[in-house]
Amino acid sequence: MRNVPNPLQRSFLGRNGFLLNIMMARLTGIISAEAHMRFEAFSFGSVRIDGITYDHDVLIDHGEVYKRKKKPSKKFRDNFGHTPLSAEERIPWKCRRLVIGTGTGALPVMDELKQEARRRNVELRILPTAHAIELLKAAGPDTNAILHVTC
């Protein structure tokens, strides 16, 4: 006998019920949001995560993707020739490992941020974004990230 979805389930069904299955698995705790992050593409100026293309720097906090708000760091731009990543920004500290993708290597990471990572006992990995994405593909749920998608 074929299992027929009820009206509520039908309203959430995607292709072959995929969306409903993912939603139910997350709600019931079978899988976490982090377990299904898919890094699908990265090129200069954009990154595609879970089917969504972001054309700006992103912050990943426990599987949720946010736009990096770099305004608090802009005051340091003259010292670096580029807006750096500073501890004054929103940093997803609640993790064991924080991966910072520096674009092609141009994103400066301020010493204060490195010191704060040590103080919080968070492993800090700073590497070009393409390498950071490869690291994130294999990372567990205790890893957060900030990815710079240009320069």
Burial level of 124, CB count in 10 A (0-12/13-18/19+)? middle
pLDDT digits (tens, 9 = 90+) for 22-48: 454 444 344 444 456 999 999 999 999
Is the model's pTM score more than 0.85?
no
Whether residue 134 sits in one domain with residue 94: yes
Query: 130: pLDDT confidence band, cut at 50, 70 and 90?
Result: very high
Count of domains observed in the chain = 2
Average pLDDT of the chain to the nearest whole number: 85
- Decide if pLDDT at 11 tops 60: no
Whether residue 95 sits in one domain with residue 65: yes
Q: What is the pLDDT of residue 25?
A: 41
- Residue 121 DSSP label: T
Whether residue 12 sits in one domain with residue 61: no
In this structure, are residues 26 and 33 in contact, taking their beta carbons and an 8 Å threshold?
A: yes
Whether residue 81 sits in one domain with residue 23: no
Whether residue 127 sits in one domain with residue 101: yes
Calculate what percentage of the chain has a pLDDT beyond 90.
75
Average pLDDT score over residue span 124-128: 98
Whether residue 9 sits in one domain with residue 82: no
CATH number at residue 43: 3.40.1230.10
Q: What is the pLDDT of residue 80?
A: 96
Side chain identity at residue 41, one-letter code: A
Q: Which two tokens stand for residue 39?
A: 């890094």
Please report the DSSP string for 89-109 in residue order: S----SSSEEEEEETTTT--B
Whether residue 55 sits in one domain with residue 2: no
State which residues form the domain around 83. 37-148
Q: What is the pLDDT of residue 34?
A: 45
Whether residue 114 sits in one domain with residue 74: yes
Q: CB under 8 Å to 8, separation ≥6 — which residues?
A: none
52 HSE (CA, 13 A, CB side): 9
In this structure, are residues 149 and 57 in contact, taking their beta carbons and an 8 Å threshold?
A: yes
Whether residue 54 sits in one domain with residue 26: no
Whether residue 43 sits in one domain with residue 89: yes
3-state DSSP of 24-56: HHHHHCCCCCHHHCCEEEEECCEEEECCEEECC
Whether residue 21 sits in one domain with residue 42: no
Whether residue 109 sits in one domain with residue 78: yes
Query: 145: pLDDT confidence band, cut at 50, 70 and 90?
Result: very high
In this structure, are residues 101 and 133 in contact, taking their beta carbons and an 8 Å threshold?
A: yes
Query: 1: pLDDT confidence band, cut at 50, 70 and 90?
Result: very low
